[in-house]
């Protein structure tokens, strides 16, 4: 499910800002970018994300801003720089090299410049987590608002399928008599009315019509639609369950279309399939 949230928290020393973005995904795909100073908090954040976010392709950006901007500034090891400079100058003189920027080269030597990033203390770690939880709260609120819109859309489309099923039931009443009439007419024209074994003919018609009966498909489809609405209104996370139910709905709709042997019913079935495809697309956004 798509989502967005930002959280900010700070004290008299530092302020952390956490930004969370997500796109649709069947699983939790997590990417976290955070300052080196709090890299040891990554595992904690991943654990919390798995509990609080559940699914989605999630990107988390964490930035810090210190009140004292020099607190985390880089420092230069002056004595080591002098030592490197004098050594490089001596080597350059021996080799007759005069165009080398010895000072710039000395600055790049190991351990001349060090970053004063240290592991954060417990208080600073709490500031980070507070900002994270604030961002998650905003993020989940965004998802809940989007979820309410999706819920209304899914309910509407399932109701459309039920309405279309009612249209099938209206047409389906005349279907069997018409099939029987066509078969009788065909047999009369093919071999003549007097040459038909009535008992055998009735047996064959009953067998044939039984193969075309769609009562079970209608009952199961209606049951699946009602179960879909029930699962949609459940309080627990049920995106995968809804996906399974939609597959069963599709199976009944396909069987209904293949057994219909009626142009009007098949047209209604096509409209059912259109609504079901829209439902499946929207389910990618449901946790």
pLDDT score of 270 more than 90? yes
Establish if 149 belongs to a structural domain: yes
- Residue 68 has a pLDDT of 61
Instruction: Name the percent of the chain lying above pLDDT 70.
Output: 79
Establish if 79 belongs to a structural domain: yes
List the domain range (segments joined by +) for residue 242: 143-283
Residue 227 in contact with residue 245, Cβ under 8 Å? yes
- Residue 73 has a pLDDT of 54
Establish if 177 belongs to a structural domain: yes
Residues 177 and 277 in one domain: yes
- Model pLDDT for residues 114-147, shown as the tens digit of each residue: 655 555 567 888 899 999 999 999 998 998 888 8
**Averaged pLDDT score across all residues of the chain:** 82
pLDDT band with cut points at 50, 70 and 90 for residue 237: low
Instruction: Name the percent of the chain lying above pLDDT 90.
Output: 30
* Lowest-confidence pick of 85-94, 164-173, 193-202: 193-202
Core vs surface per residue 189-227: b (16+ CB within 10 A) or e? eeeeeeeeeeeeeeeebeeeeeeeebeebbebbbebbee
Alpha helices in the chain (DSSP H): 42-52, 78-95, 102-107, 122-172, 175-191, 198-212, 215-232, 239-260, 263-283
* Angular region, 199: left φ>0, alpha ψ -120 to 50, beta rest: alpha
- C-alpha 36/C-alpha 116 separation (Å) is 11
Mean pLDDT of 92-101: 77
- Split into its structural domains, the chain has a count of 2
Residues 151 and 265 in one domain: yes
Mean pLDDT of 158-171: 89
């Amino acid at each position: 499910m798509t989502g967005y949230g930002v959280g900010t928290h700070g004290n008299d020393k530092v302020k952390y800002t956490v930004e969370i973005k997500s796109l649709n995904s069947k699983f939790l795909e997590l990417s976290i970018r955070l300052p080196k100073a709090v890299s040891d908090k990554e595992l904690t954040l991943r654990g919390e994300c798995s509990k609080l976010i559940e699914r989605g392709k999630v990107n988390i950006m964490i930035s810090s801003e210190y009140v004292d901007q020099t607190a985390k500034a880089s420092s230069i090891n002056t004595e080591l720089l002098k030592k490197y400079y004098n050594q490089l100058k001596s080597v350059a003189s021996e080799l007759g090299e005069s165009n080398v920027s010895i000072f710039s080269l000395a600055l790049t030597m190991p351990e001349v410049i060090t970053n004063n990033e240290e592991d954060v203390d417990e208080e600073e770690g709490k500031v980070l987590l507070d900002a994270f939880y604030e961002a998650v709260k905003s993020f989940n609120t965004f998802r809940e608002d989007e979820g309410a819109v999706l819920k209304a859309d899914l309910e509407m489309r399932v109701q459309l399928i039920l309405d279309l099923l009612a249209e099938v039931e209206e047409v389906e009443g005349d279907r069997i008599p018409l099939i029987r009439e066509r078969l009788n007419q065909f047999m009369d024209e093919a071999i003549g009315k007097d040459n038909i074994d009535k008992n055998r003919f009735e047996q064959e018609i009953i067998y044939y019509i039984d193969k075309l009966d769609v009562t079970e498909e209608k009952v199961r489809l209606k049951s699946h639609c009602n179960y879909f609405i029930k699962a949609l209104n459940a309080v627990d996370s049920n995106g995968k369950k809804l996906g399974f139910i939609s597959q069963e709905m599709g199976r009944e709709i396909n069987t209904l279309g293949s057994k219909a042997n009626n142009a009007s019913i098949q047209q209604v079935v096509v409209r059912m399939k259109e609504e079901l495809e829209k439902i499946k697309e929207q389910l990618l956004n449901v946790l």
